[in-house]
Amino acid sequence: MTSKKTEKYQMILEGALKVFAEHGFHKSQVSKIAKAAGVADGTIYLYFKRKEDLLICLFREKLGELVQKFEDSVRDIDDVKEALHKVCEIHYTELENNVDLAHVTQIELRQSSMELRREIGMAFKPYIVLIENLLVKGVQQGVFKPDLDVKLVRLLLFGAMDEVVTSWLISGRKYSLAGQVNGTIDFFLKGIAR
Amino acid sequence: MTSKKTEKYQMILEGALKVFAEHGFHKSQVSKIAKAAGVADGTIYLYFKRKEDLLICLFREKLGELVQKFEDSVRDIDDVKEALHKVCEIHYTELENNVDLAHVTQIELRQSSMELRREIGMAFKPYIVLIENLLVKGVQQGVFKPDLDVKLVRLLLFGAMDEVVTSWLISGRKYSLAGQVNGTIDFFLKGIAR
Amino acid sequence: MTSKKTEKYQMILEGALKVFAEHGFHKSQVSKIAKAAGVADGTIYLYFKRKEDLLICLFREKLGELVQKFEDSVRDIDDVKEALHKVCEIHYTELENNVDLAHVTQIELRQSSMELRREIGMAFKPYIVLIENLLVKGVQQGVFKPDLDVKLVRLLLFGAMDEVVTSWLISGRKYSLAGQVNGTIDFFLKGIAR
Amino acid sequence: MTSKKTEKYQMILEGALKVFAEHGFHKSQVSKIAKAAGVADGTIYLYFKRKEDLLICLFREKLGELVQKFEDSVRDIDDVKEALHKVCEIHYTELENNVDLAHVTQIELRQSSMELRREIGMAFKPYIVLIENLLVKGVQQGVFKPDLDVKLVRLLLFGAMDEVVTSWLISGRKYSLAGQVNGTIDFFLKGIAR
DNA sequence: TATGAATGAGTCTTCATTCAT
DNA sequence: GATGAATGAAGACTCATTCAT
């Protein structure tokens, strides 16, 4: 029962991911998603209240999985620098290996109302918090500057990585995203001043 | 003569800026923009081919002005660190003092097709290049690391600032954006490692 | 099953026939046709791609029925003169008894692009061919002149009848159309010379 | 003064003829006609009340010239058969030599409301009457059947010729229209029966 | 008279959502 | 639960017509 219900639910989300990634949110008709998911149009409304919910849920689901991966990877790493490196590596490789998801997170998710943007901000929160915790831990360990403005720097870190991914995507993915990890982390840790 | 022809054009762009900022691109009816601009619906189509053109032109126009300001400000500053500080300061203060524009650049402009995203990327280019030139200059002066990956770092800088602005906007502008300049630049220059 | 799917299709065509006949193609709003057909505006687009398709399909459907009647009537008549008389009789009586259809065929169908005119020409073809076959048969039987230019005369026959119907319609249908059959056929067969 | 006024008036009608012939009435924007005529959009409204008036006046003007030609040609011909031949010859050759006009009379003029169709019917009247007079004259001379239904036959004649022209036009003018005169007149005079 | 920028009413078409089966 | 035919609100865009210059 539950599994069957979950089954269609997942099929619809997979369909939405494909269609959103290819056409963008506003140009993705519900009927197209239904076809991609192999269900009837109306069926979608048994699992999702509105079209926008598809985006939100897709995002929560996928981001949840990602955050889980981040947490799993970092949990057993005591060295915060190494942990930060791992976070960036996962951030880049996961999206590089899942272009559809990258499209949705970098392009489609932004195509939404202020209201939805707030929703999205909320869902990103755990990831931002994870970064923040790393920063705090680093400060406590004396590895990071003691006067670090963690609230600001967590944004700077996330924004920097985010832009790298978006730029890579828009450029047509002509280079390796994973190849940017070292450069990114080096910048984070040491800045640009000699 | 010229001013008169330009007059309506500007009025329409101003109207579009207001309406886009308040409602977002997709929920902004052309008729609402016309009303805000004080012209008839049809008049808009004498100056712009499609609704989307409003967004593109608005963006080009405003971004052009911004880039001009950046260039003017930086031109006579020899100290690249100071120049970078100035760039960040302008980036934050300009958007803080022009919330409507901030809304459009941070939220609405992203609400567009891949195609338009590419357009936008093109228009951001001069700004990115300006940052890149600063980086190169700094490397040459020996102020920045000699092995700096300027192509990567310019993205990191831009992305970091961009995220700070967006986050400030989404949070409801509860704190001073200009107040983040020092922290941001400090991060850029020195990184986070102790 | 089939009947149900066809049902709405037919209802829409009937609605279109009524509205086109009353207001003409260009002044017939789709919403008015929908109301006349007892369906929602959008429903029309489940069965027809564009408004113009309504005209084309209506025409094909109705003309097809007419041509069928012509063929059925003539099939068992060996005397070509009698057959020609029958054709003219059906031509006049069918349109006299179906004023809405007459409006559409004589007035609205002509209100269309060159492109559509060609479509219409194609659909009239079977009728023109039927007349041509009668002429050929008559020549073979020695009932019609041996040197008859059938390609030309079939047009002359059709054009003559067509004009009579249009004139009758435009005049306000003040006389009997069926009453013109004998005069028409007499003209066809014997000409006007003493 | 008058000549100058007439000059623009004529230029506009010429422009309208060209544009209507090329694009058809409904797809001919007033601005396009203005450009073709070399005047401003508004100028057209100094000479014509509505767009539809362009069609009506164009039609009256051109048809008036044609009817004049018919009358001039027929005036001095006593032999009604010869006169009828002349009428058909002019009908075909004039339109064959003036394809734009042919387009307008055969295609565009029909693209109009019932109301306009009536107008057109009125303007055709002199031509129809001219044919009728020939028929009456022929009957009086004993050249045509004494019991000829002139009201009906004038329609049959006009309709037949009209269809030949339209068919020639739609077919792409692949054969000579003037070459159909003899066949047409033969049909009119002698009918098709052996 | 002539202009052409401005107007704004008018309409086709799309597509998210519903609901009878 | 599942379907998909039906709905109808919504809105971008066109273009005949006007009128200030």
For residues C19 and C105, the answer to whether their CB atoms sit within 8 Å is no
Contacts of C187 in chain D (CB under 8 A): 152-153, 156, 191
pLDDT at residue D2 in the model = 44
Cα–Cα distance, A35 to D162 (Å, whole number): 53
pLDDT at residue B113 in the model = 65
Cα–Cα distance, B164 to D42 (Å, whole number): 54
Sign of CA dihedral C101, C102, C108, C114: positive
For residues D33 and D45, the answer to whether their CB atoms sit within 8 Å is no
Give the residue from B108, B118, B156, B166 with the most A CB atoms within 10 Å of its CB, the best one to mutate.
B156
pLDDT at residue D124 in the model = 82
Cα–Cα distance, B124 to B63 (Å, whole number): 8
Q: Which residue of B has its CA nearest to A169?
A: B114
Give the pLDDT band (50/70/90) at residue C24.
Answer: confident
pLDDT at residue A142 in the model = 94
Question: Hey, what are B19's tokens?
Answer: 């309406």
Q: D191 — phi, psi (to 5°)?
A: 70, -165
DSSP string, A148-189: --HHHHHHHHHHHHHHHHHHHHHTTS-S-SGGGHHHHHHHHH
What is the mean pLDDT of each successive set of 10 residues along chain D, which is 194 residues long?
A: 69 95 89 97 96 90 88 93 95 94 82 70 85 94 93 94 92 93 95 81
pLDDT digits (tens, 9 = 90+) for C55-106: 889 888 888 888 899 999 999 999 999 999 999 999 999 999 999 889 888 8
Nearest nucleotide to B30, CA against C1' atoms: F12
> Residue B51: how many CB atoms within 10 A of its CB?
16
C107 has pLDDT over 80: no
For residues B93 and B177, the answer to whether their CB atoms sit within 8 Å is yes
DSSP string, C1-50: -HHHHHHHHHHHHHHHHHHHHHH-STT--HHHHHHHHTS-HHHHHHH-SS
Give C39 CA → E17 C1' in Å.
17
Give B45 CA → F14 C1' in Å.
10
Q: Which residue in B114, B111, B6, B8 sits closest to B59, CA to CA? A: B111
Per-residue pLDDT of chain B (194 residues; tens, 9 = 90+): 344 457 899 999 999 999 998 888 888 999 999 999 999 999 999 999 999 999 889 888 888 888 899 999 999 999 999 999 999 999 999 999 999 899 888 877 776 666 677 777 787 888 999 999 999 999 999 999 999 999 999 999 999 999 999 999 888 899 999 999 999 999 999 988 87
Cα–Cα distance, C121 to D61 (Å, whole number): 29
Give the residue from B137, B187, B188 with the most A CB atoms within 10 Å of its CB, the best one to mutate.
B187
Of C117, C142, C163, the CB nearest to D107: C117
Cα–Cα distance, B166 to A109 (Å, whole number): 14
A4 has pLDDT over 60: no
pLDDT digits (tens, 9 = 90+) for C42-59: 999 999 999 999 988 988
User: Do the Cβ atoms of C158 and D157 come within 8 Å?
Assistant: no
User: Do the Cβ atoms of A193 and B113 come within 8 Å?
Assistant: no
For the domain spanning D56-190, the CATH number is 1.10.357.10
C11 CB less than 7 Å from any atom of strand F: no
Mean pLDDT over A24-52 rounds to 95
Class of CATH domain A59-190: mainly alpha
Cα–Cα distance, B5 to B166 (Å, whole number): 35
User: Do the Cβ atoms of A170 and B114 come within 8 Å?
Assistant: yes
User: DSSP character for C108?
Assistant: G
> Residue A40: how many CB atoms within 10 A of its CB?
12
Mean pLDDT over A117-138 rounds to 87
Neighbours of chain A (3+ CB pairs under 8 A): B
How much helix, strand and coil, in percent to the nearest 5, is found in chain C?
80, 0, 20
Taking the CA of residue C171 and the nearest CA in chain D, the distance in Å comes to: 8
Contacts of A152 in chain B (CB under 8 A): 164, 180, 183-184, 187
Give the residue from B175, B177, B192 with the most A CB atoms within 10 Å of its CB, the best one to mutate.
B192
Strand E neighbours (CB under 7 Å) are: A 27-31, 41-42, 45, 50-52; B 8, 39-43, 45-46; C 27-31, 41-42, 44-45, 50-51; D 4-5, 8, 39-43, 45-46
pLDDT digits (tens, 9 = 90+) for C156-193: 999 999 999 999 988 889 999 999 999 999 999 998 88
3-state secondary structure of B175: coil
Is CATH 1.10.1500.10 the right assignment for the domain spanning C1-48? no
Cα–Cα distance, C77 to C75 (Å, whole number): 6
C194 has pLDDT over 80: no
Cα distance from N-terminal residue to C-terminal residue, chain C:
62
Of C135, C149, C190, the CB nearest to D183: C149
Taking the CA of residue A107 and the nearest CA in chain B, the distance in Å comes to: 7
Contacts of A102 in chain B (CB under 8 A): none
DSSP string, chain D: -HHHHHHHHHHHHHHHHHHHHHH-STT--HHHHHHHHTS-HHHHHHH-SSHHHHHHHHHHHHHHHHHHHHHHHHHT---HHHHHHHHHHHHHHHHHT-HHHHHHHHTGGGSS-HHHHHHHHHHHHHHHHHHHHHHHHHHHTTSB-TT--HHHHHHHHHHHHHHHHHHHHHTTS-S-SGGGHHHHHHHHHH-SB-
Q: Where are the domains of chain B?
A: 1-48, 56-190
User: DSSP character for B26?
Assistant: T
pLDDT digits (tens, 9 = 90+) for D176-186: 999 999 999 99
> Residue C68: how many CB atoms within 10 A of its CB?
11
A5 CB less than 7 Å from any atom of strand F: yes
B23 CB less than 7 Å from any atom of strand F: no
Fold topology of C55-190: Tetracycline Repressor; domain 2 (1.10.357)
Exposed/middle/buried for A180, CB within 10 Å: 0-12, 13-18, 19+?
Answer: buried
Neighbours of chain D (3+ CB pairs under 8 A): C
Give D114 CA → E1 C1' in Å.
35
pLDDT digits (tens, 9 = 90+) for D81-90: 999 999 999 9
DSSP string, chain A: -HHHHHHHHHHHHHHHHHHHHHH-STT--HHHHHHHHTS-HHHHHHH-SSHHHHHHHHHHHHHHHHHHHHHHHHHT---HHHHHHHHHHHHHHHHHT-HHHHHHHHTGGGSS-HHHHHHHHHHHHHHHHHHHHHHHHHHHHTSB-TT--HHHHHHHHHHHHHHHHHHHHHTTS-S-SGGGHHHHHHHHHH-SB-
pLDDT at residue C192 in the model = 86
C8 has pLDDT over 70: yes
Give A41 CA → F19 C1' in Å.
53
Nucleotides, chain E, CB distance < 7 Å: 1-20
Report CA A47 to chain centroid distance, whole Å.
Answer: 23
pLDDT at residue A5 in the model = 52
